[in-house]
């Protein structure tokens, strides 16, 4: 009789233990970074996907295509194309289930370790004749590697929408390669190259990180 009552008492606890991984089991989330599309120095169509690898961990893969910059319509002597790749690992502090929702994404604060790579190709035409209309074309290739620590918060709104915000600090190293050579009169370059001389300076330096993503939860 005693064993029967012990079994009846322990049965709900056993069932709850079995259901706990399901309640906290996250699902994939497709994401769009809207702030990247209004960055005046590098208009970027940037998106990604967050995938679960455990009850408290996820991996987020991102990619972005740089398609323009502020004032490009008026600047006919400069063109720019490029891309960004990012990969981050996230550890959620205290994942919370969203009651009444079967989509089951991880929900709460997190710490992330992010690695990124950026590459840009630029074509610049500069008047080297002192006003006589002779333009010389220069090519510049910019590459940047970065590692960063981020703190963020991911929350769910409704059945499918999610909002993800983060901030942190990174360390970035960038290189510039010119062809045929770097212009000697470099005083004009910051005015016509929004990415490079103003954003990805050559060498290593700390950089702040802030961002926001709007997500769509996949079932």
Residue 205: pLDDT over 90: yes
Average pLDDT, the chain: 79
**Tokens standing for residue 162:** 């999610």
For 49-85, what is each residue's pLDDT tens digit?
999 887 789 999 999 999 877 766 555 567 788 999 9
What are the chain's domains? 26-217 (2.40.160)
125-128 long-range contacts (CB < 8 A, ≥24 apart) are: 125/77, 125/78, 126/77, 126/183, 126/185, 126/188, 126/192, 128/183, 128/185
> What sign has the CA pseudo-torsion 216, 217, 218, 219?
negative
Q: Over the Cα atoms of the chain, what is R_g?
A: 24
Tens-digit pLDDT profile for residues 179-198: 887 776 655 555 566 788 77
Query: pTM above the 0.85 mark?
Result: no
> With 70 as the cut, is the pLDDT of residue 42 above it?
yes
d(CA 35, CA 43): 9
What are the angstrom distances between the C-alpha of 216 and each of 32, 44, 52, 89, 103? 9, 19, 15, 19, 10
- The answer to whether the CB of 164 falls within 8 A of the CB of 215 is yes
């Amino acid at each position: 009789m005693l064993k029967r009552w012990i079994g009846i008492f322990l049965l709900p606890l056993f069932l709850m233990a079995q259901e706990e991984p399901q309640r906290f089991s996250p699902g994939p989330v497709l994401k769009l970074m809207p702030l990247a599309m209004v960055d005046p120095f590098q208009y970027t169509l940037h998106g990604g996907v967050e995938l679960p690898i455990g009850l408290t961990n996820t991996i987020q893969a991102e990619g972005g295509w740089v398609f323009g910059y502020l004032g490009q319509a008026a600047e006919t002597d400069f063109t720019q194309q490029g891309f960004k790749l990012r990969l981050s690992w996230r550890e959620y502090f205290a994942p919370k289930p969203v009651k009444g929702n079967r989509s089951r994404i991880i929900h709460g604060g997190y710490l992330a370790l992010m690695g990124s790579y950026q590459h840009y190709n630029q074509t610049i035409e500069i008047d080297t004749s002192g006003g006589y209309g002779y333009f010389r074309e220069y090519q510049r290739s910019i590459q940047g590697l970065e590692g960063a620590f981020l703190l963020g918060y991911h929350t769910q709104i409704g059945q499918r929408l999610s909002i993800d915000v983060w901030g942190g600090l990174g360390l970035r190293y960038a290189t510039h390669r010119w062809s045929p050579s770097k212009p000697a009169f470099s005083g004009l370059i910051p005015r016509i190259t929004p990415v490079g001389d103003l954003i990805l300076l050559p060498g290593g330096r700390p950089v702040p990180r802030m961002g926001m993503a709007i997500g769509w939860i996949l079932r």
